[in-house]
Each structure stands twice: as C-alpha cells, then as structure tokens.
Amino acid sequence: MKKVGVILAGCGNRDGAEIREAVFALLAIDKLEAEAIIMAPNINQHHVVSHFSGNELRETRNILEESARIARGNIQDIAKVRAETLDALIIPGGYGVAKNLCKFAFDGSKATVLPEVRALVTKIHELKKPIGAICIAPALMALLFGNEHLKVTIGNDKETAQEIEKTGAKHVNCDVDQICADQSAKIVTTPAYMYGDAKLHEIYSGIEKCVAQVLSWA
C-alpha cells in the first residue's frame, strides 16, 4: 500500500488547515487504497482567529495539537518524518499554509518557508516523488520550486497568480473541479476553496483528481 504524507497547518481555514479540504484529501487517499501519514509542525501557529467573528484572539495554539483534531490523534511531528518512508505528499490548503507553513500571506513571492517544511518537501521533490497541493498550497510550491518554472494553479485569482509568477512559476487558470498537472516536476495542484462559493462536490471532485494523479505517479 502506498504511503502518502499529508501536511496539516492547524485546524480551521482562517488560521490553520482548511478542514473540508483536509478531510476530502484523506477520504480520496483512503478511497484510492493508499495510507495517509498525517503530520504537522510542532510549533505555535502565527495567530488564532475566531471562525465565528473573524477577529484575532489573544491566545496561543500549537499547530501539531490543532492538526491532531483533524487526524483524530494519529499524527506525527513533521520534523521526525523521513521522506524515504513516503511515496508521495499532499498539502491541503487553508490560511495556515500561508501563515504557518510559510509567510506567503504577508510577504508574497519573497516569503520564507518554515525550515522543517522546506526540508521534507524539498527532499520529497529531490527523490522525484509526486506532490499534490490544494487551494493556496500551490504558492508554497512556487516559493520552493519556482526557479524550475513549474506550472501551478490557484484558480483564477489574478493578484495571487501574479505574486506566484514572481517566483518564476507559471500560473494556469483552472476550474474548481479540475487539476493542473506538471508532469516534469511531478506536482499536481487544484483550486478548491480559492473559489469561495464553490460547491462541496466540486471541491471534492478536484481534490480526488489531484490525489489520483499523484498516486498514478507514485
């Protein structure tokens, strides 16, 4: 059974992993008869945002602890995961990707990437193992591999696409239920909730196609 690493960035779209995208990715991995190896960084998230009011809260939460809610406790510290033990990698979206895993939300194309995330993702790529990136996660791919001029999609958000292209990556407009597959880089992307008004079944369709393509290359 193929082992697919799933990197989570917390719990909740405003400050962590987008829960529906994460669950859909896990569902697709299971449906396609692979095993999900769920992981997250063991550090505090950038900030905490109320998912009811949208206001920033005066509290601190740990990314690994929060991600464990989605993983039902079956989760590992990303710093302890070896790329050699995985066949592929999937990164669901959510603002936590752009705030916690990297700083794209604040610094755009000049953003830094969390060292433990950079280490695992770049090693997976060096080993020529496939990666699937969902929603805003393609921006993380662009930060790491934009100099390879890979093709990615975040849907059709012009401003975000322009910032991604500053890294050297090529943005391709894409419908919510479709994927952008860069075969040479072995990186697959899909927009998901970059389309905020998309229907659930459309989002799942795109994510399942993304996971299926990743597994076909694994």
pLDDT for position 154? 98
3-class DSSP string for the chain: CCEEEEECCCCCCCCCCCHHHHHHHHHHHHHCCCEEEEEECCCECCCEECCCCCCEECCCCEHHHHHHHHHCCCCEEHHHCCHHHCCEEEECCCHHHHHHHECHHHHHHHCCECHHHHHHHHHHHHCCCCEEEECCHHHHHHHHHHHHCCEECCCCCHHHHHHHHCCCCEECCCCCCCCEEECCCCEEEECHHHCCCCCHHHHHHHHHHHHHHHHHHC
Structural domain span for residue 64:
3-217
Annotation marks residue 102 as catalytic: no
Domain count, the chain: 1
Low-confidence ranges of the chain (pLDDT < 50): none
**pLDDT given at position 34:** 98
Looking at residue 71, its pLDDT comes to: 98
**pLDDT score for 45:** 97
Q: Is-above-0.75 flag for pTM? A: yes
Per-residue confidence (pLDDT) for residue 14, from 0 to 100: 96
Q: What is the pLDDT of residue 85?
A: 98
Catalytic residue among 11, 135, 174, 210: 135
Q: What integer pLDDT is reported at residue 31 of this predicted model?
A: 98
What pLDDT is recorded for position 123? 98
CATH (domain of 66): 3.40.50.880
